[in-house]
Structure 1
């Protein structure tokens, strides 16, 4: 009976060692998993602005000089610039043939044609006779920035630049065609009535 009891008690250390071994293995596996998940680099994105780089170049004489390298065109910062397109671009290029030393002025008003006179016979005629089928019953508008728009006819060239010289408005269309406008009457600094000659006909405009 004494021999059997000693055989049972000798197995306890082996069981304890197995349990400890299993706990250690599980602990090692958990530590590896935690280490791998924590060591992944963070996915970050950084944006840097282009900067000048300076390098030192030594010449054959032994002197050294610093050279500055500017960022390439694609790296240059974008600056907001005023861009003119379409009709505005054309008007900005128009040059009005004003007299040297003559003081010029501008105003803001819209005029409609109301009658036409044959300048050779002094006989009144219709606006349809003057402009033909292109007559669209439009207006002429002069702006205080030195530009004007002409919608009297359906012509595609209906804008330009102008300047007031004395009692005359010198206007130039975007296709470089000049137009001389006579001021028949004034209301303060603004023309009240205009006379424009179209192909031998004096066309009268008022506000």
Structure 2
């Protein structure tokens, strides 16, 4: 009887150990299953968030590209026409003519040949009048009412003119007015001109 009781007593710790091991194994398996099941939604959420971010970025990129798209052909044509209109507009030179006075135009080129000091009435050299910029230039009047002045080498001026009686009223493009006296004529064309440059009467002929 004593031997049986001791055999039963020795089996109890073994059973307890087996039960405890089974409980631990079950707990580990449950923990692994729980962790695996818990990680899947996280991955799903991450994937969804990435897709949403990608969609937003794509939409932003499309919007940005739409903003940067070049103007249509019609818009470009309108802009070109506007710029062309702006650049093609040349300020018109207004000649201060007398109201009701008949004006005329001609076509001829004149060169300066002498100068007289209007205060002393003494003749002087053309270089004294124009300085070192004197370049044997000319003044040309055109039949369309325009003229060019290249008497000096420093610049070539231009403008508009009109003949009123024995006077040519000329206005440069910088709004400077010049009164030209006609000393002699050949029909309707002046042959000799007198222009005052800074107190000097300069004579021109064809």
Given the two structures, how large is their TM-score scaled by the length of structure 1? Answer: 0.57
Q: Which has the higher helix share?
A: 2
Task: Count the aligned residue pairs.
Answer: 134
Please state how far the C-alpha of 1:74 moved relative to its aligned partner: 3.3
**Is residue 2:84 matched to residue 1:74?**
no
Secondary structure of the corresponding residue to residue 74 of structure 1: helix
Ranges in structure 2 where 5+ consecutive residues have no aligned partner? 1-72
The CA RMSD over aligned residues, in Å, is: 3.0
Asked if structure 2 preserves the Cα contact closer than 8 Å seen for 1:157 and 1:173, the reply is no
Asked if structure 1 preserves the Cα contact closer than 8 Å seen for 2:150 and 2:156, the reply is no
**1:127-138 equivalences in 2 (<5 Å):** 127-138=126-137
Determine the C-alpha separation between the residues in 1 that align with 2:111 and 2:151: 8
Correspondence for 2:199: 200
Correspondence for 1:166: 165
Larger radius of gyration: 2
Please state how far the C-alpha of 1:146 moved relative to its aligned partner: 0.3
Determine the C-alpha separation between the residues in 2 that align with 1:185 and 1:73: 59
Correspondence for 1:120: 119
Determine the C-alpha separation between the residues in 2 that align with 1:142 and 1:104: 14
Please state how far the C-alpha of 1:153 moved relative to its aligned partner: 0.9
Ranges in structure 1 where 5+ consecutive residues have no aligned partner? 1-71
Q: Which has the higher strand share?
A: 1
Correspondence for 1:109: 108
Please state how far the C-alpha of 1:154 moved relative to its aligned partner: 2.3
Could you tell which deviates more after superposition, 119-128 or 151-160? 151-160
Given the two structures, how large is their TM-score scaled by the length of structure 2? Answer: 0.58
Please state how far the C-alpha of 1:84 moved relative to its aligned partner: 9.6
